[in-house]
Structure 1
Amino acid sequence: MVTTIIWTEKGQRELIEILKYWNHRNKSKSFSARLNKLIEEQLNLISEFPKIGRTTDIPNVKVKVVHKYLLYYEIIEDVLYVLTLRHGSADPKSLKIR
């Protein structure tokens, strides 16, 4: 069971960029707020069921689909680290976790 969720700087930066993008594109914060809530709900689900994500080629790193985004995370002891958040259509070869 996960007791703490920590966003890495990279993960935080990407989340903010995604939310800003949708605010600008839609000229509204409505979708961004719903997306942010969905991400929070999925993180809570991961906290309860840490193995719910799909395994990746990167040791100890899992990925969970959230809407059209891929949330990469790692669990060390009882801490869930959100490593990166990126659009599912992004080139997989450009993935940089840290």
Structure 2
Amino acid sequence: MTNFPHALAAWCTNQAPGLRAAAIDCELGTPPADGRSKASAWVTLSANARLAAITVWDTGEAELEHADLGSSQVYPEHRLLQTEQDLVSALSGLVQWVRSPAR
């Protein structure tokens, strides 16, 4: 089974140089080690007055948000990831969102 928080952190580390070159800010977050039953991690991407975020848990649960800061519209989405490719696909969609010009 894929460790999705670890895979998300690895993606962020590997993609950070290319994202910076494309003027996309990428921030990785992790909760404190306080004994929670499910491990998680999140990434926030921002550029062009757009924000995108994904939170993943080791169970494969994922919450995605696409936000257009100009219009204040937020588009939430829930997914259940099965594979690391599912995670990469979700992240690719978030990167495309922030690369698009705000409306």
TM-score w.r.t. the length of structure 1 is 0.32
- Higher RCO (C-alpha under 8 Å, 6+ residues apart): 1
Structure that is richer in helix per residue: 1
Structure that is richer in strand per residue: 2
TM-score w.r.t. the length of structure 2 is 0.31
